Structure 1
């Protein structure tokens, strides 16, 4: 992943100009392409301290559950004691005036809630 520089308490920016924020619901970074260029683009108010992006941000990905994060779980999966399933994860939100409004179709614990954008540097450093 390319280097991402901090541009405010809550945002980072990659060399390609994409804007990055930390998602408290997914506990991972999400990025948005802003300005002109190819591919999907988001409107951005240009205020890195209190950002607003339009339209909504929809992130979807498949994830194996349970995750084989420890050797004992990986072994139980390998021998068939635990069966993994592929689950589609959804994070859908509006980012308005520095806050994330998570919509009810989110599959994580913050669905239906609104929270401040997390601290970018602190979150990125522990990832």
Structure 2
């Protein structure tokens, strides 16, 4: 993993990660040539712009996992476990170093726009 700036890391060739304060985790896009979905990137490591929108789904929000085991059912079955993970949707536009959270996000930043933040030191 290569730290490109305080807000952007290259986790593998063509894979860029940024810290999402809504998810409290990183979100990753792939750019350049290659298989699978690809995003445009303005090349700016301090104030990146990605196109189109970035959609991250976890747990039962992942297509095909709607009726399967997920973090929600795990925590219902294990109520004393620390809640380190969550099922959710994070849908954003990343423009000029700002994250615009769309209304379909399932976390508390839905509908807000915030500046990108640095990765936690322990990540």
Q: Same fold (TM over 0.5)?
A: yes
TM-score by length of 1: 0.76
Q: How many residues align?
A: 107
Moved >3 Å (runs of 4+):
none
TM-score by length of 2: 0.78
Q: Provide closer, same or farther for how the CA distance between residues 72 and 108 of structure 1 changes in structure 2, counting only shifts above 3 A.
A: closer
**Which residue of the partner structure matches residue 82 of structure 1?**
none
Q: Point out where structure 1 has 5 or more consecutive residues left out of the alignment.
A: 75-86
**Which residue of the partner structure matches residue 98 of structure 1?**
97
Deviation per CA, 1:47-99, whole angstroms, max 9, x where unpaired? 1111000000000111423764xx8715xxxxxxxxxxxx8510000000000
**Which residue of the partner structure matches residue 83 of structure 1?**
none
**Which residue of the partner structure matches residue 78 of structure 1?**
none
**Which residue of the partner structure matches residue 118 of structure 1?**
117
Which structure carries more relative contact order (alpha carbon 8 Å, separation 6+)?
Answer: 1
**Which residue of the partner structure matches residue 63 of structure 2?**
none
Q: Provide closer, same or farther for how the CA distance between residues 35 and 106 of structure 1 changes in structure 2, counting only shifts above 3 A.
A: same
Alignment partners' CA distance in 1, 2:87 and 2:10: 28
- Root-mean-square deviation (CA, aligned residues, Å) is 2.0
